[in-house]
Amino acid sequence: MIRYTLITILLVLAAFVVQQFLPALTGLHNARILLVQLVFLCAAVTVGTPTMLLLAFLGGFLWDAQCTLGPAGGDPEIYSHPVEALHFGYSIVLFGAMGFLMQGIQPLFRQGKWQFSALLSGIAIFLYLAAEYALITFIRGGFMMSHATVMQMCFSALLTMLFSPLVFWLLFHIANWCQHTIRFDGIKRRNRKRYT
């Protein structure tokens, strides 16, 4: 369990490094693959609530740290919309909310229905982007939702969701390597009923 937790923490940290090299796709309204959020979401459904909260704190803290470094909320080539008006720590709350959303579908995941978790990861990414945009516009004092912004959110969520099976595959292999059981409670209950 501890080894699997440490490796998921390292995966989130590695996702931050790789995220810096993923470009925005200009043909799809500057949509981005949000690898950090995806790795967090996929890991959140495979661990317990305390570990998920630790990952949410780590992911949100580092996300805010990289967005507030340097002038205007970070490197202007990477972050075209500065978020300097938001207070440090808002991402921790958003990561935690996404994590609890994934934890809610964990019983289905434990029954082996990881496809629902993959679909929910796309929905969670969209909700994360919408909440972040709502916070930014609320703090700046004017709410304007353009068609391009909605399309950017939709394409970012869809592109990110398409990579979730790969992340789940990686997490299953890591769990096997660590001899950590991602419990399938429904199967265990059925087996207990057979033997009693």
Output the pLDDT for position 69. 57
54 pLDDT exceeds 80?
yes
pLDDT at residue 94 is higher than 80: yes
SS3 category, 168: helix
**Residue 2: predicted pLDDT:** 86
> What was the pLDDT predicted at 100?
93
Each as own residue / partner, the long-range contacts of residues 99-103 (CB below 8 Å, 24 or more positions apart, any chain) are 99/40, 99/41, 99/44, 99/52, 99/53, 99/55, 99/56, 100/52, 101/127, 102/41, 102/44, 102/45, 102/52, 103/44, 103/45, 103/49, 103/52
Q: CB–CB of 38/99 below 8 Å?
A: no
The 10s digit of each residue's pLDDT in 141-153 is 777 778 888 888 9
In this prediction, residue 106 has a pLDDT band, given cuts at 50, 70 and 90, of confident
41: its two tokens: 């979401």
pLDDT in tens, 107-136: 778 777 778 888 888 899 999 988 888 887
pLDDT of residue 190: 45
What local confidence, expressed as pLDDT, does residue 185 receive?
A: 47
**pLDDT of the residue at 57:** 95
Greater pLDDT, 86 or 80: 86
Give me the amino acid identity at 9. Answer: I
The predicted model gives 49-73 an average pLDDT of 81
Instruction: Assess if CATH 1.10.3470 describes domain 2-195.
Output: no
Q: Write the pLDDT tens digit of every residue in 174-196.
A: 988 888 777 564 444 444 544 44
* CB atoms closer than 10 angstroms to residue 143: 10
Of 69 and 102, the structure prediction assigns the larger pLDDT to 102
Tokens of 34: 């949000």
